[in-house]
Amino acid sequence: MIPLKILENKTISDVPGFQTIGIYSGVKRSGKNDLCVIYSKTPAVAAAVFTKNKIKAAPILLCMEHIKFENTQAIVINSGNANACTGSEGFEDAVTMAKTTAKELGLIPPHVLVSSTGIIGVPMPMNKITKGIQTACKNLEKNDGDSAAKAIMTTDTFTKKITVTINIEDKPIYISGIAKGSGMIHPNMGTMLSFITTNINIEKSLLQLALRNSVKDSYNMVSVDGDTSTNDMVVVMANGVAQNSLIDTTNDSYIKFKEALDFVNKELAKMIAKDGEGATKLIETHVINAKTIQDAKLCAKSVISSSLVKSALFGSDANWGRILCAIGYADGNFAPEKVDIFFKNHIGSIQVAQNGMGIPFDETTAKSILEQEYVNILIDLKDGEQSATAWGCDLTYDYVKINGCYRT
């Protein structure tokens, strides 16, 4: 891993050349922040990955067109209303959000990306949204990344943010991201949102390559409840303010940047998993010694997505049989008679299955490990040299409570 420094008290607003703000526009009844704008003061390139759900929210459809432009200079995001399944009117509302933002910032609408999250199938309160965008743009000088991180939250219980710095050509490169996600999380990208800013100088096609590959090992390895949202998207904007030599090939500078981007995305992905609706535990499944990376990924994500495994972990029950069952239907290639299973964290490590069968183990120790807020499930397929990691959470009573009255 390349040397990188985590900047504990920095946010996306601290990346050189960017301004951001989050405000309350009136969409949420709670009075909490519900709209934010992220703006690059200079032209920037952007890359994005969108949900593969066939039912795509209006902002996704609009962004799939706008992302084709060379310059992307702003993102406007609202929470409280997903603007999904809202027909042609919803699409026009997304267009209006881009036009309003562009007018306030002196841009053209295609240089603005739009994102929404919240309730599906409800018309957008555009009078509030439009005024909110105008207010946010006028307050960009306040440059408050924390307020922006709060503005994209729905059922999230904490803000998800991280900022790191690396050196390329002796120039400080900042990569900072905010994300939201708590329920309807089972990304298949290609409701979870992530927005990343960086001052690196990189060609748009290389930025897209880095993001697309990074998503495969981060957000696409997370599952809270098995639902892929209509609004899932990840966007990264790079404004080139660092003035490093333009990265236009997969050279050493590209590799350094990609590794740092991977770190940021994986950390945000873990925060999303930890904050699953009603969750009490972050569960990490690490599959090792698989024949192929694809086999490892299929097995890891199958375990983290299993409702039976998640329920057992909520009850701190060392039910290794459910884990073996989950990898059995994952469509990965492995030899069942070779599989070993362990539970691990700071309490210790305990093996609960060997060669596809149960073995005697200390139930008290196992329970002590499983009662912690972080649990690692280690699965050794003993079939190759590849590995993969997936993240999720336990399934609790509160998940049903939250989603039993989400609209009301």
Q: Catalytic residues, which ones?
A: 191
387 vs 305: CA distance, rounded Å: 18
For tokens 């983290």, the residue is: 304
